[in-house]
Structure 1
Amino acid sequence: MDDLLIAVPENPAPDGIEAGLLQTSDGISIRYARVPGRGETKRGTVVLLPGRNEYIEKYFETADDLARRGYGSAILDWRGQGGSERLLANANRGYVESFDDYVRDLDTLFEQVVLPDCRGPYYILAHSTGVLIALLASPSLTNRVRRMVLCAPLLGLAGSPATTTWVARLARFLYAIGLGKMYMPGRRNRLKTPDFSPAALSSDPERFNRNRATVTTSPGLAINGPTVAWTRAMFRAVEQVTDPDFMARLHIPSLILAAGSDRVVSNSAIETYARHLRSGSLLTIDGARHELLQEADRYREQALAAFFAFVEGTGDIDF
């Protein structure tokens, strides 16, 4: 296995994984990995798009599941997190000026890895912030990607609309007075390796502790809370992808998976978006928490079954 990746006994790397570094058009170093499909039937490549403060190693299990089904996979760490280049001197701060920079990261992965080195057809399996980036990039991916499965999309924050509006206004104000690199108030002291609790983003203690072991071994993979600039950029991206004119340009068939017990993103915002997305449909996995691909088997297996049914066109999805 490449030295760029961290494997621990609780989280072994998939067979055949390769990793490397890419250079984006604006000079940022991005870590990526790819895993070949196994078996006689090769079904194409799934581009895995992680969420905020995630990293390639967190998706070893998912990449292995895909490989056993005959799918190769490609995954990256977004700039400013995981094993990719940090954007601030304080490497713990989650920072970006614009989500268009993340779209540039994704375009780099396609141009330098997916298109030249990975078998088509191509699919996207994205989580949370990764969904928001996939939607932003979607107009330019129409001729590249056959289908997308979008898990727990970041289209709004859980809680009341009034609270979300207040957070957005605060981020804009703090950014306008030059405090973009500051942590958002109340978000600085988020632990990189918290203990499992009822507030965890997964109800599965084994997978939770597996990911915790990875970060304990390599703390530099994780970051702390988002900055003012990141929060402002996130709200601007949400405004863009929810604009009706922008949505009319989204033509890639998409399945949206909502987690019924999500405490991070707004399920009402997801439901509204799905109703207005001409090329999309929605499936809610009742009882699941935010991290669907890190969840307990009874939830995670539903998400994977929905993915395979949708991309393979094997029939209706019914749970």
Structure 2
Amino acid sequence: MLRKLLTGIAVLFVAVWGALLLWPEGAYAPHQPSDEYRARAADYLARNLTPMPENWQWDSFEATDGKLMRWGRARPEGDIRATVIFVPGYTGTLEMYADYHHEMLSRGYEVYGFDLRGQGGSARMLENPEKPWVADFGIYSDDVAGFTKMVRTQTAGPLLLIGESFGGHVVLRAAGDHELPIDGLLLAVPAMRIQTPPLSYGAARFIVEASRKLGFGKDYALMQKNWQPYVTDLSQPNYCGDNIDRIHIKDTLYTARPELRVGGTTNQFISEMMESGERISKPGYLQRLDMPVLLVTGDTDSIVQAEASKKACAAHIPDCDLLELENSGHCTISEPDATRAAMFDGVDALLARAEAALQ
């Protein structure tokens, strides 16, 4: 009886998946927030979005395939202790991390920021600009490696590479694939292995891979779509937590600046990310990292499998310190000041380790 029930559920699921897969997506039609929500979003941004540093300068980096990536830079008022390159997470744009830039500058760091292709102010890859897509995840690695080498020609002193979530995955991949001229690596809640509820990881892996092989790689993955606000009541919590003054920055910024929007994930993107995650999680790959590493996790992270990252740090990365943020989820940008201060202190500690290794 139980076997028949499970078989029936599986058949129903496959039928629903097949129907959704074959249903045409249609032309790109961005979400149009209501006038009421736009007004609330504008008020929210005016009260909560930190402006970029006054001396922030924007520029473009041309990748090997000719695509242009947006980057920016600012220098502290006094002496430069070190240089940091920051790579945002999935759907992230450098404007969302202005608090980070200001904090790093106040601690004496020269700050570079890099928008990954397909998001922020960098080149989009498909006709629907909200869809993330890349032929191979190694392309992200190559982009970061090329940019890092360019920064090295412009700077002196220690150079730290920092990536958050998807950005953490990419900078780890870059450090493993290339000989990077960096002195330390910070992986903030890195997406080495993503969570896939309500599906098991194996089921999700099978679905996106099958969808890609059937020719639907550029289609949105199951339950994914163009951007729209997670909630329209900006006094309510969302998947990033309940710190109301910070958790809605992305949605309100996307409302004000549609060109920055990124929607859900495509079958190709997820399949490549899973494949790349398996690659970078292998002991032999991680043992290539020949610089001090700080790996930051949140103890309530519901987006990535933090245990997989912690295991990698403890067992396979040669020189890795672990910082577990208490009562913290995946969105470090939305955490209270005390929690974020612990992460910034971690940057200082990583710099001290890097300087000691250089002596």
Question: TM-score scaled by structure 2?
Answer: 0.79
| Aligned positions, number | 307
Q: Counterparts in 2 of 1:268-283, with a 5 A limit?
A: 268-276=307-315, 277-283=317-323
Distance 1:140 1:232 in 2: 19
Distance 2:56 2:351 in 1: 23
Q: Counterparts in 2 of 1:222-233, with a 5 A limit?
A: 222-233=261-272
Please list the CA deviations of residues 36-69 of structure 1 after superposition, one character each: whole Å capped at 9, or x if unmatched.
1222x31121010111111111121111111111
Does the CA contact (< 8 Å) of 1:34 and 1:74 recur in 2? Answer: yes
Matched, 1:213 2:252: yes
Partner residue of 2:186?
A: 149
Partner residue of 2:159?
A: 122
Distance 1:148 1:111 in 2: 15
Distance 1:9 1:162 in 2: 36
1:21 to 55, 60, 64: 60
1:80 to 105, 115, 118: 118
Does the CA contact (< 8 Å) of 1:138 and 1:252 recur in 2? Answer: no
Distance 2:49 2:284 in 1: 46
| 1:259 aligned partner, one-letter code | G
Distance 1:161 1:7 in 2: 37
Per-residue deviation, 1:209: 3.6
Distance 2:60 2:143 in 1: 12
Partner residue of 1:104?
A: 142
Distance 1:34 1:284 in 2: 29
| 1:48 aligned partner, one-letter code | F
Does the CA contact (< 8 Å) of 2:162 and 2:171 recur in 1? Answer: no
Please list the CA deviations of residues 234-263 of structure 1 after superposition, one character each: whole Å capped at 9, or x if unmatched.
011101101222122121211111011111
More helix by percentage: 2
Question: TM-score scaled by structure 1?
Answer: 0.89
Q: 1:142 to 1:210 in 2, by over 3 A?
A: same
Secondary structure of the corresponding residue to residue 263 of structure 1: coil
Q: Which has the larger radius of gyration?
A: 2
Q: 1:58 to 1:305 in 2, by over 3 A?
A: same
Partner residue of 2:282?
A: 243
Q: 1:110 to 1:271 in 2, by over 3 A?
A: closer
| 1:25 aligned partner, one-letter code | T
Secondary structure of the corresponding residue to residue 200 of structure 2: helix
* RMSD value, Cα: 2.4
After superposing the two structures, state which structure 1 stretch, 63-72 or 196-205, moved more. 196-205
Per-residue deviation, 1:188: 1.4
Distance 2:340 2:102 in 1: 14
Distance 1:279 1:12 in 2: 36
Distance 2:340 2:96 in 1: 14
Q: Give aligned-pair identity as a percent.
A: 23
| 1:293 aligned partner, one-letter code | I
Q: 1:93 to 1:159 in 2, by over 3 A?
A: closer
Secondary structure of the corresponding residue to residue 177 of structure 1: helix
Please list the CA deviations of residues 46-95 of structure 1 after superposition, one character each: whole Å capped at 9, or x if unmatched.
01011111111112111111111110111111111111111100111121
Per-residue deviation, 1:193: 6.2
Distance 2:268 2:46 in 1: 32
